[in-house]
Amino acid sequence: MDILDLTITQLHDGFVKKQFTSVEVTKAYLDNIKKTDSEIGAYLSVTEDLALAQAKKADKIIASKKDFPSLTGVPCSIKDAILVEGEKCTAGSKMLENYIAPYDATVIKNLKNNGAVILGKTNMDPFGFGSSTENSAFKVTKNPHDKTRVAGGSSGGSAASIAANEACYALGEDTGGSIRQPSSFCGVVGLKPTYGAVSRHGVFAYGSSLDQIGPMAKTVEDAKIIFKVIFGKDPLDATSVDYKFSNQESSMKGMRIGVPKEYFAKGLDPEVEKIIKNAINRAKENGAKIVDISLPNLKFALACYYVIAPSEASANLARFDGIKYGLSEQAGKDLLDVYVKSRGKGFGAEEKRRIMIGTYALSSGYYDAYYKKAEEVRQLIKQDFQNVFEKVDVIFCPVSPVPAFKIGEKADDPLLMYLADIYTISLNLAGLPGLSLPAGKIDKLPVGLQIIGNYFEENKILSVAGLMEKMLL
C-alpha cells in the first residue's frame, strides 16, 4: 500500500514499528502536493518549513518513547479560517490576503501538543460564505473524483486535500454544513460536533451561534482520534463546554434509527435516495429498528438560517474596517472614505450580499419581523429534534440532495446555491452533532450518509458510523 493511502492508525503503527519516519511521510505528502495541487487547488498556502520542522521534532519523540500520541508525526491540512501562528490566514478573502496569524487557535495548540505536522492552509469560500468553494477570492477547488465538479464548501479545500492524498486528515469548520457537505462530495468522513464541544478561539467567525470546528478524515476511526484531541472546555471560549467523551461500543441490534420523511421529499436525486435507502436497509438487516419520524418545522430551516447567519456575519465582519488589520485603502479623503474603499475592495460579491442582508434584518423596524422571528422558529426546530430523540437513538438521512455539481452550475443563482445546504443547516440551528459517512457512488461521484445524534453524543454517532462503515465497504 502507498504511504499516502495510510490512515492515522496505520501511520502510527508504522512509526511504532520503525517502518518509516515522519520526515519521509511528510516529504511524500509535500511532493504529492507539488505534483497534483496545481490541478486540484486544495491549498492556499503550503507551510513546508513548518511541516518539516514539526516532522523532525516528531521523529525525535517517536525515537525516544514507546508510547506517544496517535497524531504524532501525521501530516494534516487546516482550513484557512483557523489561525496557525506565524502563517498566513486569509479566510479565503482579499480582505485578509496578507494577514499573518499572531497566535495559534486553541485547536491548533491541541494538535501541536499531540505532535501533529501541519502541511498548509486550505482553500475556502470567504469567511465560510458558500457551498462550493467557488466564492474564494483566490481560486476554485476542484473535486478530485471529477475535476469538472466542485469539492463542496465552504471547507472544500480541506475535503479535497484528503481525497487527493494531499493530507492524511484535516480540520474544517461547519456553520451550515461546511464540513459535512464537502465530505459527502469528496467521499471522506466529516464530523460536525455539538455546538460548544470544540473551542472556536482563534477562528474567524461567520455565525457565532452556528460555527463549529470538526475533523475530516479517511475513516471513522481517524475522525474519532482527531475529535478526542480537539474537544473540551477552553477558558478562552465562553461557549465551550466541559464534557466527558467516553468510547462507546454499540451494536446495530436494537438500535433505533429515525428516518425523517422531510428529507426524502421533492428535490432529492433518485440515485442519492437509492444509496441512502440501501444504507438504511443494511442497518435493518443487521438488527436495527427503523422508525419513521417527522420534523415538521424543517421546512422553515433554510429561511430561518439565511436570516440568522447573515445577521451574525454582518456583526462579525464589522471589525474589518481598514483600520485595525486586514486590507487598508488609506488614500481616502476622510475616515468614512477609508472604510468604504477598504470594504469595497476587500469584500467580494457574496460577502457584500450577506452583510447587506444581515444589516437589513437587524435594522430598526425590521429586527422583530425578521431576526426575532427567525430565532423563534429556531426554537421550534430544536424542539422537533428533542421530541424525536425521545423515540430514536440516531437519525439517518442524506447529507445533500445531489452529488457534487458542475463548477459554475449554480454560481450565478445565489438561491439555488443556498439550497445545497438544505439537509445540513438544521443541525447548526439546533446545535446538534452530525457526521457524513461515504455510503456509495453515482458513477464516480461519492454520496454521503448523514448520521445525526443528540447533544454531546459524538461517541454514539462515531460508534454507529463505524458499524455502518464496515457494512458499506
Q: Is residue 193 part of a domain?
A: yes
pLDDT at res. 473: 80
Distance between CA 237 and CA 447 in Å, rounded? 34
Characterize 27-49 residue by residue with b for buried, 16 or more Cβ atoms within 10 angstroms of its Cβ, and e for exposed.
Answer: bbbbebbeeebeebbbbbbbbee
Quick check: is 400 catalytic?
A: no
Residue 416 has pLDDT above 80, yes or no: no
| 70-118: pLDDT as tens digits | 999 999 999 999 999 999 999 999 999 999 999 999 999 999 999 999 9
Rounded Cα distance, 406 and 143, in Å: 10
Whether 309 is in a domain gets the answer no
Fill in the DSSP letter of residue 126: G
Q: What is the mean pLDDT of residues 7-13?
A: 98
Contact 12, 70 (CB under 8 A): yes
For β-strands 169-174 and 75-79, DSSP reports them as parallel
Cell of 323: 483600520
Residue in this structure with the C-alpha cell 475535476, named with its chain if needed = 147
Mean pLDDT across 425-454: 98
Percent of the chain clearing pLDDT 90 (strictly above): 88
Angle in degrees, 0-180, between the axes of helices 48-64 and 22-40, rounded to the nearest 10: 150
Rounded mean pLDDT, 401-421? 85
Distances (CA, A) of 193 to 66, 188, 352, 407, 435: 31, 16, 29, 29, 8
Indicate whether 68 belongs to any domain: yes
Comparing C-alpha atoms, which of 184, 256, 263, 260 is closest to residue 442?
184
Q: Is residue 378 part of a domain?
A: no
Question: Is the alpha carbon torsion for 200, 203, 207, 213 positive or negative?
Answer: negative
Angle formed at CA 21 by CA 15 and CA 27, multiple of 5 degrees: 135
Structural domain count of the chain? 1
Task: Please write down the HEC assignment for all residues of 229-248.
Answer: HHECCECCECCCCCCCCCCC
Q: Tell me the pLDDT tens digit for each residue of 379-399.
A: 999 999 999 999 999 999 999
Average confidence (pLDDT) over 293-318: 95
Could you give the CA distance from residue 368 to residue 374 in angstroms, rounded to a whole number? 9
Cα Rg for the chain, rounded, in angstroms?
21
Mean pLDDT, rounded, of the chain: 95
Domain-embedded: residue 304: no
pLDDT for 461 beyond 70: yes
- Could you tell me if residue 381 is inside a domain? no
pLDDT tens digit string along 31-65?
999 999 999 999 999 999 999 999 999 999 999 98
The one catalytic residue among 22, 70, 79, 311: 79
Distance CA 405, CA 390 (A): 36
Which residues share a beta bridge with 234?
237
Kindly report the CATH number assigned to the domain that includes residue 25. 3.90.1300.10
In one-letter notation, the amino acid at residue 276 is I
| Predicted confidence (pLDDT) at residue 163 exceeds the cutoff of 90 | yes
pTM of the model: 0.96
The parent domain of residue 258 ranges over 1-294+395-473
79 is catalytic: yes
Domain assignment present for 325: no
User: According to the model, what pLDDT value does residue 175 have?
Assistant: 97
pLDDT of residue 418: 77
Backbone angles phi, psi at 379, to 5 degrees: -65, -35
Q: How many CA atoms lie within 13 A of 211 on its CB side?
A: 27
pLDDT at 331 over 80: no
d(C-alpha 2, C-alpha 17), whole Å:
17
pLDDT of 455 over the 90 cut? yes
Distant-in-sequence, close-in-space partners of 95: CB < 8 Å, separation ≥ 6: 126, 320, 326, 327, 342, 343, 346, 347, 351
| Length of the chain, in residues | 473
- Per-residue pLDDT, averaged over 9-28, amounts to 97
| C-alpha to C-alpha distance for 301 and 283, rounded to whole angstroms | 28
Residue (of 225, 228, 220) closest to 198 by Cα position? 228
Tell me whether residue 101 is in a domain.
Answer: yes
Q: Of these residues, 93, 158, 161, 178, which one is catalytic? A: 178
Q: Is 246 a catalytic residue?
A: no
Would strands 75-79 and 212-217 be described as parallel, antiparallel, or unpaired?
A: unpaired
- Contact (CB, 8 A) for 159 and 216: yes
pLDDT of residue 332: 65
C-alpha cell at 391: 423515540
